[in-house]
Each structure stands twice: as structure tokens, then as C-alpha cells.
Amino acid sequence: MPSRHKSLVLLAGVILLQVLLLAVQIKRDSQGRLIRSWTVGAVSPFERAGSYVFGSFRDTWRNYFALRGTKKDNDDLRRENDALKLRLAQLEGKAAEADRLGALLHFRQSQADVPMVAARVIGGSADPGSQTIELDRGEHDGIRKDMGVITPDGVVGKIIETYPNTSQVLLLTDNHSGVGAMLADSRIQSPVGGVGEPLITMKYVPNDDDVSVGARVVTSGMDRIFPRDLPVGTITEIKPGNPFKQIRIKPAANLERLEEVLVLLTHHPLKQSDSAAAQPAPVAANPAPVANP
């Protein structure tokens, strides 16, 4: 190496040593000693690069090679998930049924001296214009034609046909249906009937009578089918008519979602129950079947 180059190398080395000497002594407030800052700055790119390379390998391994059995696991988990969904739906159905049965049992216990039989709805009407349902109980269970059908929420309809093991119910909303009713507060009596729609009508209330929206309608017992004071529904709309008011009532029982009902085997008046006869229950609270005493 030429002498001039030697001295240049020596110069560079001596200056570098002194710069390092300075860096060891200098302390920046935010970053500590300069030598530490430089060291970190010099090393961190390699650390980052190493971390990137290692991370790439790791991700490649985790996302590709380690996933060889994932499809099988995925299929197994999917099958298990489907089974669990089905099981969950079954349990939810059973829970809802238990709620309904609990409400029905409570109602039945509050009317222990009234003969009634619980029945499960097993079918509906084949005619869309006909509002009927079919029960899994019939003549062998003591059910006869024109017997009343209720839920803890209110009147459902009446038996129109009986068979040895099944029976058919004409719902309150059917065109041909009717029940003797009265306003719970004013005791104004008037039959209530269906018009083939979800709402039923109260037919013969004179325009002079004072009736208000929200008034409760109960059975009057005059039809000799239903005992007196069973909930029928709540008035939702009142229009003046000629010669009678046009009153529309929302049925107390949820007639569109019936699963279990009670068939009254007597016409004796029911006791007023805090949860059943006096107050219509919420629509969602469906009744449940109870064993016949």
C-alpha cells in the first residue's frame, strides 16, 4: 500500500476512533447516549430484516404447511356446527314449549275445579278462507261439538266437528264464528264475530253507547258455550255506523300461533285469575297443554 494511502487509512481510523469517543460521551436527552443511539440505529435494520425474514418463514409455515389437516378439521367442525345448530334449535323449541306449558299449567291450576282438557294443535285448514284448526283430542277425551276452546290468554273458538281421536275448531276470526261478549267495564253486551281477518268485530253496539279504544271485551256467557268473563280481546278501532258502531277488536289469544289449547268441558263460569281471565296476556305468551283431571 502506498505511503499516501497508508496515511489516509490512518487518518480515517483515528477520526473514527475519536468520533466513537465523542459518541460514548455525548448524551442526548431524548435518546440517551449517542453511542447507544448509533448502535441501535446500526443494528435495528438487521434486526428488522431478520424479523421480516423469520416472520415470512413463520407465516409461510403457519399459513400453508401447517394447514395440511385444516380441510379435514374444517369439515369436521362444519359438521359439528351444523349438528349444534340443529340441537340449539331443538332446545330453543323445547324451551319455548316449556314456557307455554308452564303458563297453561298455571292457568289450569288456578281453575282446578273446572273440567277441561288440554290439546295440541296438529293441523290447520286446507281452505285459506276458512279459519279452523285441528286438535289431537276427540270424542274419546270427552270433547263434544260446540265446546269452547281457550288459551290462558283468551277465547280461541269452538269445536265444530269431533272424531274419535281428533276434533276441529272454528277460530274466532272465521266468518261464521261468533261469541257472546260484553265490555268488561260498562257491561254493554254484544256478540263478537270474525270477518276472515286477524281482527274481529263487535256488531251491535249503538252509536249512543260510550265505548273507547283500549277497552277490554270479555265473554258474556249468553251463548252457552263460553263461561262468563273470559277475555275476548281489546278494542283497537271505533267508527260510527248506521245504526251501530263499527268496532274492531284484537283477539286476546294469539290465533295465528296456536300450539296448545284448552277445551272447556263445561259452561260453568271460570274464576277470575290474576294472570289469565282478567288480563289478556301478551301475544307472545302462548298457552301450553295441561293434562285433563
Partner 1 sequence: MNGAFDLRIGESHIEVHKFRTGAILLSALFALVIQAWFPLHFTRAALLDLPLLVTIYFGLSRRNPSTGLLLGMVIGLMQDSLTPTVPLGLYGIAKTIIGYLASSIGARLDTEHPAARFALTAGFFIVHQAVVALTRRTLLAQPEPWLTLHFFGAALLNALVAVFLFILLDRLRRQS
95 is an interface residue for partner 1 by CB under 8 A: no
Of 28 and 62, nearer to partner 1 (C-beta) is: 28
Of 37 and 292, nearer to partner 1 (C-beta) is: 37
Q: Determine which residue in the list 1, 4, 129, 274 makes contact with partner 1, applying CB under 8 A.
A: 4
**Choices 9-17, 96-104, 164-172, 199-207 (CB under 8 A): range interacting with partner 1:** 9-17
**Choices 19-27, 149-157, 181-189, 205-213 (CB under 8 A): range interacting with partner 1:** 19-27
Of 9 and 66, nearer to partner 1 (C-beta) is: 9
40 is an interface residue for partner 1 by CB under 8 A: no
Residue 196, all three cell numbers: 276472515
Of 15 and 77, nearer to partner 1 (C-beta) is: 15
**Choices 5-13, 166-174, 189-197, 251-259 (CB under 8 A): range interacting with partner 1:** 5-13
22 is an interface residue for partner 1 by CB under 8 A: yes
28 is an interface residue for partner 1 by CB under 8 A: yes
Cβ neighbours for 119, distance < 8 A, ≥ 6 positions apart = 135, 136, 137, 141, 143, 167, 260, 261, 262, 263, 289
56 is an interface residue for partner 1 by CB under 8 A: no
Number of residues that bind partner 1 (CB under 8 A): 17
Q: How far is the CB of 22 from partner 1 (least distance, A)?
A: 4
Q: How far is the CB of 27 from partner 1 (least distance, A)?
A: 10
Of 37 and 273, nearer to partner 1 (C-beta) is: 37
Burial 175-207 (b: 16+ CB within 10 A, else e): eebbbbbbbbeeebebbbbbeeeeebbbbebee
**Choices 7-15, 93-101, 194-202, 259-267 (CB under 8 A): range interacting with partner 1:** 7-15
239 is an interface residue for partner 1 by CB under 8 A: no
26 is an interface residue for partner 1 by CB under 8 A: yes
Q: List residues binding partner 1 (CB under 8 A).
A: 4, 6-8, 10-11, 14-15, 18-19, 21-23, 25-26, 28, 34
